[in-house]
Structure 1
Amino acid sequence: MWEELGAIRGIWDDPWCLGGDFNVILSQRERSSQGRLTGAMRRFAQIVDELELLDLLLQGGALTWSRGRNNQAWARLDRFLNHFSGVAQSRLPRPTSDHFPILLMGGGLRRGLSPFRFENMWLKVDGFKDLLREWWQGSEVRGRASFRLATKMKELKQKIKVWNREVFGRLEVNKNSALQQVEY
């Protein structure tokens, strides 16, 4: 699953969030029994770091799971991991489960740049397909297949954006200017 998330992250510029019961903790402080650091814990922390996810402060309590009378064993297994700011997570009361529900509260998202969209008109430009092939083959990336694909797609996207500005200018500005001229 982690490799797939890395691949998605490589081509996804919009804000995103992961949430749920990860069944693993990020650090020893997040559980009652002090044991050794496991491989799963190290991998989880590495993924959070690599994907540049924010582990938000949990309001309303530090634990999200407990077992036994008087909560003899507890841990923070549930969380939201975000790739944007302006949100908070809060632990809610636990009616029956051994997990506390978590509420993710947002203050609204600010729209950033518009997402990348491949324009079919580019395929009609002489030499564009050759440029694509050259850019794709000229990019050398090491790692798993999903990581290589995501990284090459991200690099290709950036090169296409620059090429588009050089060849066509800013399409939205040009379109609005042309529409204003037609109105008069």
Structure 2
Amino acid sequence: MVAGDFNTILNASEKNNENLDRNMMQRFRAFVHEHELKDLYMHGRTYTWSNERERATLTRIVRVLVSVDWDLQHFDAVLHGLSSSVSDHAPLHLALNAAFRPKRRFRFENCWLKLDGFDEAVKEAWVCDPAIVDPFRRLDALFRNAAEHLQSWGQKRVGNIKLNIAIANTLILRLDVAQERRTLTPVEFWLRRMLKQSVLGLASVERTMARQRSRIRWLREGDANTSLFHAVANGRRVKNYIASVKVGEELVTDQEGKVEAFTEAFDDPQV
């Protein structure tokens, strides 16, 4: 859904002066909340309309509103504000397959603290080459080794949560169907009970991870709505996405080029 009108302002920050119709703002916010819509973050611009005067009035009156389901299905969507060209309105460009998949980095998962063997895993991971004597290099090596070891340990202990839940539910379904036709054997009954306990445990871990990544603190872990958490986490990721970097007169948009530009700037502050 694309909204474009002088009354489609959600926040006071979307206009560069205090001449606001707050009643209309409240009504528009109520409409967005009532229909459970999400306002896509716009890269590149703050406002989308100007009255083209010397002391210009600027507002954001064009936006893209989507449902949570749409947002989850199009997690690579990125919205850009373009040049207004000969118009007083700035057109929007919505890319549905933006390539912004950075190299996977280490993330400490809070759910690891609930798993047996975590303390032992940390002790095994906190090692480095004794030949490294410089304290800063030694600390860097310890952190890197610990991150690599814990990432591998966590993957082995937890694995692909969604896939494991799907497999467990498939097996439970087959045992349910079998139970409708005959009495389950003791082994089948035990397996069905273990699978149900496994699904509960995996669902709890999934909620913990979603809560951590979404940074929503006002909901209890047990009451977590996974779709909501993933939507918020995805929104944060899109908002933090850097679409381009200007190096001198050149505009860099590819991922490798942006990494190289940041690396050179870090190594040489004069760049």
TM class by smaller structure = 0.3 to 0.5
Q: Please give the TM-score of this superposition, normalised by the length of structure 2.
A: 0.31
Larger helix proportion of the pair: 2
Q: Which has the larger radius of gyration?
A: 2
Larger strand proportion of the pair: 1
Q: Select the structure with the greater relative contact order (CA < 8 A; seq sep ≥ 6).
A: 1
